[in-house]
Amino acid sequence: MKSFYRLTVLLIICWNSASAQKTSPHLPVAVKITATWCNVCGLSSWDSFKEMVEEYEDKVVIMAVHADEGSQLNSLAASLYAANLPDRFGQPQFYINEQSIGIADDWRWKGALENAISQFRASTPLAASEVAYSIKDDMLEVTSVITFNRGTNRAIHQALYLVEDHVSAFQNNRRPEDLHRKILRTHISESPMGDLISNTEITSGQSFTQSYSLPIDSSWKSENLEIASILFEKVGERYVFHNGSTALSPVQVTSTADQYLDDANMIVSPSPLLDHGKVMLQLDRPLADATLHILDSGGRLVQELFRGTLEKGQHTFDIPRGGWSSGLYLLELRQGSKKTTVKFIVR
C-alpha cells in the first residue's frame, strides 16, 4: 500500500543551482518461470538458476516466478508477471528481460546474460530507479527514486516486487533441505504490473519519489527479503520492459529493542540536494552519546556530522556535497539502541 512516512525527524536541505549528472541503477532482469510440482524444474534448471544467483546477483535483477496457481509458491504478482511475457510455453523457462532463452542450457543463458549486461552498461536509459527499504517490527517501508534522462510522454510504470531468498518449501525432484532462491513473493506497488509514474509529460532530469509500506507476512524471513524494481512502458494491454534495479538488504532494521527517537524533530524541505545543504535539528531533551550520520542507500557510512552530547534546543549542521554520487541517502540520528532516519536525494 502506498503511503507517506510518519517521520519523527525532519530535514531541511538548502542547495544552490549547480547541476549534477544523475547516475542510477540500470540493470537487466533474469527470470525463471517455474513451479513446485514441476518434475523437470528440480533438475538441471534448478542448478543453472542457483549458479546464476551466485554469480550475477549484483549485476542483474533475478527472480523465480511461480506462475502456475498449483505451485505452492504462486502469487498474483507471479501469475501476472508471467502472463505478460511473450513466447510462454510452460516451465521451466528462462527469460532475459523479455527474451525467452528456453530451458536454460548453460551456454545459452550465460551468453544471453553477459550480452544483456554489456548492452545495459553501454546505454543511457530513458529512466532509471533507485530503491531503498527499511524494516520496523513487522512493517516493510520502501522508497524509490525514478529519474528521467530524457523527456517523454510515454506511459512509464514502476513495479515494485518483494523477493525472498533461501526459502524452505517443497520442490519436486529436490531434497527437503534444498532452498529456493529469489522467490517473487508479492507486489509492493499498488498494481502488480506497476503504477503510472506521471500522467503528464515528463521533462529531462525530472525525478519522482514513491513511498510504500507493506505488512510482513509471518511466513517470510525478514533477513532474506529483497526489493526488485522494474520499469515498464504500457503499450495497449502489454507492459514493455525497460530496466530494473534491486535492493538486496535494508538500510534500517528496527524492532522493540531498536526504537525510534520520539523527541527529535527536523523538517525536510526541499530535496534534492545539489551542492551543499543544512540540517536543522530540534531536540525536546538533551541526547548524550549521540551520533548524526549520513549513509548511502546501502547503509554504508558516507559522513559523520556529529558525535557527542546534543543539548536541548535547535542545532544546525552543514552538509558538504563533496564527491558523492547522485542517488538516495539517509540521515541517521542515533542514541544507543534508539535511532531515527530520514531519506533525501542528491543530484
pLDDT tens string 60-113: 999 999 999 999 999 999 999 999 999 988 899 999 999 998 775 556 888 899
Q: How confident is the model at residue 152 (pLDDT cuts 50, 70, 90)?
A: very high
Q: How confident is the model at residue 257 (pLDDT cuts 50, 70, 90)?
A: very low
pLDDT at 266: 62
Beta-bridge partners for 229: 160, 245
Q: How confident is the model at residue 260 (pLDDT cuts 50, 70, 90)?
A: low
Q: How confident is the model at residue 39 (pLDDT cuts 50, 70, 90)?
A: very high
Q: How confident is the model at residue 262 (pLDDT cuts 50, 70, 90)?
A: low
- Higher-confidence residue of 88 and 344: namely 88
Q: How confident is the model at residue 250 (pLDDT cuts 50, 70, 90)?
A: low
Average pLDDT over residues 120-145: 86
Q: Is the pLDDT of residue 17 over 80?
A: no
Residues of the chain with pLDDT > 70, as a percent, come to 85
Beta-bridge partners for 240: 233
**Amino acid making up residue 241:** F
- How many residues belong to the chain? 347
Predicted TM-score of the model (pTM):
0.72
Round to whole Å and give the CA distance between 283 and 274: 27
Q: Is the pLDDT of residue 177 over 90?
A: yes
Q: Is the pLDDT of residue 292 over 90?
A: yes
State the SS3 of the chain: CECCCCCCCCCECCCCCCCCCCCCCCECEEEEEECCCCCHHHCHHHHHHHHHHHHHCCCCEEEEEECCCCCCCCCHHHHHHHHCCCCCCCCCEEEECCEECCCCCHHHHHHHHHHHHHHHHCCCCCEEEEEEEEEECCEEEEEEEEEECCCECCCEEEEEEEEECCECCCCCCCCCCCCECCEEEEECCCCCCCEECCCCCECCCCEEEEEEEEECCCCCCHHHEEEEEEEEEEECCEEEEEEEEEECCCCEEECCCCCCCCCEEECCECCCECCEEEEEEEECCCEEEEEEEEEECCCCEEEEEEEEEECCEEEEEEEECCCCCCEEEEEEEEECCEEEEEEEEEC
pLDDT at 258: 45
pLDDT at 296: 83
Q: How confident is the model at residue 136 (pLDDT cuts 50, 70, 90)?
A: confident
- Higher-confidence residue of 314 and 189: namely 189
Q: Domains of the chain by range and CATH?
A: 29-252 (2.60.40.10), 253-346 (2.60.40.1930)
Q: How far, in whole angstroms, is CA 116 from its chain's centroid?
A: 20
Residues of the chain with pLDDT > 90, as a percent, come to 53
- Cell 527470470 found at: 31
Q: How confident is the model at residue 251 (pLDDT cuts 50, 70, 90)?
A: low
Q: Is the pLDDT of residue 147 over 80?
A: yes
Average pLDDT over residues 171-178: 96
Q: How confident is the model at residue 326 (pLDDT cuts 50, 70, 90)?
A: confident
